[in-house]
């Protein structure tokens, strides 16, 4: 009986890896052995850096909200605490967008948050 090498599956696997490595420099896009390592590393970095990008954006949004709050005479943590007390549930992405693109609406939110924070601290 002849030796079975499962050739079609092996070729398909190699083609899949080489297709993912298209655009890499040198042997990393042409030779399976090097392309496999390059793809493994690239996918690892892509997964890790998606998490990092989310972290960086959240940090940026908080900085923008904090700067807009300070121009309205309130600091960031009091603003967030006041929004929670009033029951306004906007995420930081939306708040940062309002702070940059619609300062009048953001000022209204700051006033509501200030009133909510003062009411909460008066109860305590």
At 52, list the tokens: 């990092």
Tokens 């006033």 found at: 111
pLDDT, tens only, 2-38: 888 899 999 999 999 999 999 999 999 999 999 999 9
pTM to 2 decimal places? 0.76
> Percentage of the chain with pLDDT > 90?
90
Q: What is the largest CA-CA distance in the chain?
A: 89
Q: Which CATH architecture has domain 7-123?
A: Orthogonal Bundle (1.10)
Higher pLDDT, 20 or 124: 20
Residue 98's nearest CA partner among 59, 55, 58, 69 is: 69
Average pLDDT in the 75-80 region?
A: 94
How many helices and strands, by DSSP H and E, does the chain display?
Answer: 5, 0
What are phi and psi for residue 41, nearest 5 degrees?
-70, -40
CA dist., res. 82 & res. 117, Å (int)? 4
């Amino acid at each position: 009986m002849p030796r079975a090498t499962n050739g079609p599956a092996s070729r398909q696997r190699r083609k899949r890896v080489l297709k993912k490595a298209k655009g890499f420099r040198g042997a990393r896009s042409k030779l399976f052995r090097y392309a496999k390592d390059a793809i493994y590393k690239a996918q690892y970095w892509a997964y890790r850096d998606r998490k990092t990008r989310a972290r960086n954006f959240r940090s940026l949004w908080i900085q923008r909200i904090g700067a807009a709050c300070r121009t309205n005479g309130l600091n960031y943590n009091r603003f967030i605490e006041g929004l929670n007390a009033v029951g306004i549930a906007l995420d930081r992405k939306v708040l940062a967008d309002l702070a940059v693109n619609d300062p009048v609406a953001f000022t209204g939110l700051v006033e509501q948050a200030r009133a909510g924070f003062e009411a909460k601290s008066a109860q305590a």
